[in-house]
């Protein structure tokens, strides 16, 4: 008898050509599930109507053989962006909320109290219709919803109710307790409504996965104690890393990639670099979504250091930049120490370059990072330890290797195997 096809529907608002670590998570899961014999189907948004903060068209080549259905959406976010200064691309800056002006406070209030659970909820009706049609045509019996945006999970709940299929919820980031919600001036009514929606999803899903366990799982269990929670972090793609050559920089090279906002404690590193800028030839490279004012601040205070802002670059170019580093910098979001781990951490670790991460060393992320032989998580105020770490790396430029135990267990392929095991439990 022919084995039943292992079909799975993945609903992800963010999908190539959108860029960022949130895209890469399920892009690689889908890639490897297909290699394992599954038939993944992707339901996402048409990029011409989506509110994608950044684009990376190079990622399309990773998923060009995976069936992808793109739908229209209604984006209240676009109305918000027209009201908000500096948001002409139709997106809200990730990881930051501007509340420095009266107008900024007003638009933050609108966002926090009228876009519940989030400003992408206009996609739900389009996604539901497309999902129902696909399930009827293909006989799919497993569905995944990944958030943010957490409004996507509403579609999974409706599909489970109608078809009795198995439903996995992926919470890449926290929902109600995401750190920037504190800046949105939310009313108690809005918070309670958001909590009711979160509780319902947590209680109804068959399985919930996150990128981090620890206190975050304890919080989730307080909402739905009978639920099953599993942590599968973002990994590194060994195929990609093997294909990118490692080229050392002529200067002592510090590299930051990703998202950098005022919600991250970077001032300790900046203070130390001010002190060290005359101690040698130094280059500081930024790549990703970096607030322009922060780059200007570094350039203003580090006159003797070459500060380069590459902007958002293709993923393989970001890996190439990481591999050229003498130190890789990471800044944990303030208020997110216990709930989140940066999507790029495993890629940093895979380079075997020294890692200086700024945050709580006793957090889950801190304990994970410091398994590396040349990796530290240091509080921003502890400038003496930061200085010692950077100085040692400068003295030993090109010689320090950050070995991490059982790094192969954190490859995208290995993590996809862990995901497959959960899916087969259904």
pLDDT in tens, 65-89: 999 999 999 986 565 555 554 444 4
Domain presence at residue 71: yes
Total domains in the chain come to 2
Task: List, in order, residues 6 or more apart from 56 with CB less than 8 Å away.
Answer: 16, 17, 18, 19, 20, 23, 312, 314, 315
Please check whether residues 140 and 62 belong to one and the same domain.
yes
pLDDT for position 75: 80
Domain presence at residue 1: no
Q: Which phi and psi (to 5°) does residue 248 adopt?
A: -75, 150
List the single range of 1-15, 168-182, 251-265, 396-410 with lowest mean pLDDT: 1-15
- Going by C-alpha positions, the residue among 98, 88, 90, 60 that lies closest to residue 74 is 90
- Measured CA to CA, the distance from residue 388 to residue 11 in angstroms comes to 46
Integer angstrom CA distances of residue 46 from 43, 74, 138, 374: 10, 11, 21, 43
Chain-wide mean pLDDT for the chain? 92
Domain presence at residue 162: yes
SS3 167: strand
- Measured CA to CA, the distance from residue 29 to residue 15 in angstroms comes to 12
pLDDT bin (cut points 50, 70, 90) of residue 109 is confident
pLDDT for position 87: 43
List the single range of 80-84, 200-204, 301-305 with lowest mean pLDDT: 80-84
- Measured CA to CA, the distance from residue 117 to residue 423 in angstroms comes to 27
User: Looking only at Cα atoms, what is the longest distance across the chain?
Assistant: 73
Domain presence at residue 2: no
Domain presence at residue 376: yes
Task: List, in order, residues 6 or more apart from 213 with CB less than 8 Å away.
Answer: 229, 231, 364
Please check whether residues 100 and 216 belong to one and the same domain.
yes
Residue 55 pLDDT greater than 70, yes or no = yes
Residue 185 pLDDT greater than 90, yes or no = no
Please check whether residues 110 and 223 belong to one and the same domain.
yes
Residue 92 pLDDT greater than 70, yes or no = no
pLDDT bin (cut points 50, 70, 90) of residue 94 is low
Residue 303's CATH number? 3.40.50.2000
Please check whether residues 322 and 389 belong to one and the same domain.
yes
Write out the two tokens for 293: 């004012």
pLDDT for position 77: 58
Please check whether residues 67 and 201 belong to one and the same domain.
yes
pLDDT for position 95: 53
pLDDT for position 426: 76
- Measured CA to CA, the distance from residue 5 to residue 312 in angstroms comes to 39
- Measured CA to CA, the distance from residue 304 to residue 294 in angstroms comes to 17
Please check whether residues 219 and 260 belong to one and the same domain.
no
Task: List, in order, residues 6 or more apart from 113 with CB less than 8 Å away.
Answer: 184, 185, 186, 187, 189, 190
What's 333's DSSP letter?
Answer: B
C-alpha 279, offset from chain centre: 35
List the single range of 103-112, 152-161, 342-351, 383-392 with lowest mean pLDDT: 103-112
Please check whether residues 266 and 214 belong to one and the same domain.
no
Please check whether residues 50 and 83 belong to one and the same domain.
yes
Write out the two tokens for 140: 């799919």
- Going by C-alpha positions, the residue among 424, 311, 254, 392 that lies closest to residue 54 is 311
Please check whether residues 206 and 263 belong to one and the same domain.
no
Please check whether residues 102 and 227 belong to one and the same domain.
yes
pLDDT for position 313: 96
What mean pLDDT comes out for the span 28-39? Answer: 97
Helix residue ranges, H only, 10-101: 21-35, 76-83
Give the domain range for residue 108. 7-235+412-425
Write out the two tokens for 163: 């078809």
SS3 255: strand
Sole residue written with tokens 């002409």: 88
What mean pLDDT comes out for the span 132-155? Answer: 97
Q: How far apart are the first and last CA of the chain?
A: 21
Residue 210 region by backbone torsions, left for phi larger than 0, else alpha for psi between -120 and 50, else beta: beta
Please check whether residues 296 and 216 belong to one and the same domain.
no
Please check whether residues 212 and 299 belong to one and the same domain.
no
What mean pLDDT comes out for the span 388-417? Answer: 97
Residue 223 pLDDT greater than 90, yes or no = yes
pLDDT bin (cut points 50, 70, 90) of residue 160 is very high
pLDDT bin (cut points 50, 70, 90) of residue 98 is low
pLDDT for position 85: 47
Question: Strands 166-171 and 142-147, how do they pair?
Answer: parallel
pLDDT for position 83: 53
Instruction: Of 181-195, 317-331, 358-372, give the range with the top mean pLDDT.
Output: 317-331
pLDDT for position 89: 45
């Amino acid at each position: 008898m022919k084995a039943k096809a292992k079909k799975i529907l993945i609903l992800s608002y963010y999908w190539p050509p959108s860029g960022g670590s949130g895209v890469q998570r399920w892009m690689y899961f889908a890639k490897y599930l297909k290699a394992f014999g599954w038939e993944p189907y992707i339901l996402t948004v048409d990029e011409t109507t989506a509110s994608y903060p950044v684009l990376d068209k190079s990622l399309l080549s990773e998923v060009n053989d995976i069936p992808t259905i793109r739908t229209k959406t209604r984006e209240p976010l676009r109305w918000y962006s027209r009201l908000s200064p500096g948001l002409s691309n139709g997106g809200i800056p990730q990881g930051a909320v501007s509340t420095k002006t009266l107008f900024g406070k007003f638009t933050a209030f609108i966002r926090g109290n009228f876009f519940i659970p989030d400003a992408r909820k206009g996609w739900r009706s389009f996604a539901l219709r497309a999902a129902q049609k696909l399930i009827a045509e293909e006989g799919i019996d497993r569905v995944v919803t990944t958030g943010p945006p957490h409004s996507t999970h509403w579609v999974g709940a409706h599909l489970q109710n109608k078809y009795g299929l198995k439903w996995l919820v992926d919470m890449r980031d926290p929902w109600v307790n995401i750190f920037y919600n504190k800046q949105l001036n939310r009313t108690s009514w809005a918070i309670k409504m958001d909590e009711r929606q979160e509780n319902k999803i947590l209680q109804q899903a068959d399985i919930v996965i996150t990128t981090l366990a620890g206190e975050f799982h304890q919080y989730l269990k307080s909402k739905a104690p009978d639920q099953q929670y599993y942590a599968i972090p973002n990994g590194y793609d060994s195929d990609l890393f093997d294909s990118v050559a490692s080229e050392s920089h002529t200067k002592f090279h510090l590299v930051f990639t990703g998202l950098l906002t005022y919600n991250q404690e970077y001032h300790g590193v900046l203070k130390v670099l001010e002190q060290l800028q005359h101690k040698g030839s130094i280059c500081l490279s930024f790549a990703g979504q970096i607030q322009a004012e922060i780059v200007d601040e570094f350039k203003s205070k580090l006159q003797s250091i070459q500060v380069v802002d590459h902007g958002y670059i293709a993923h393989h170019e970001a890996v190439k930049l990481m591999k050229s580093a003498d130190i890789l910098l990471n800044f944990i979001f303030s208020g997110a120490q216990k709930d989140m781990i940066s999507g790029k951490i495993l890629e940093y670790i895979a380079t075997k370059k020294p890692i200086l991460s700024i945050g709580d060393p006793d957090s889950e992320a801190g304990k994970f990072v410091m398994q590396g032989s040349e990796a530290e998580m240091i509080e921003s105020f502890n400038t003496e330890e930061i200085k010692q770490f950077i100085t040692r790396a400068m003295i030993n430029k090109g010689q320090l290797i950050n070995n991490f135990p059982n790094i192969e267990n954190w490859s995208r392929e290995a993590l996809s195997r862990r995901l497959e095991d959960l899916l087969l439990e259904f």
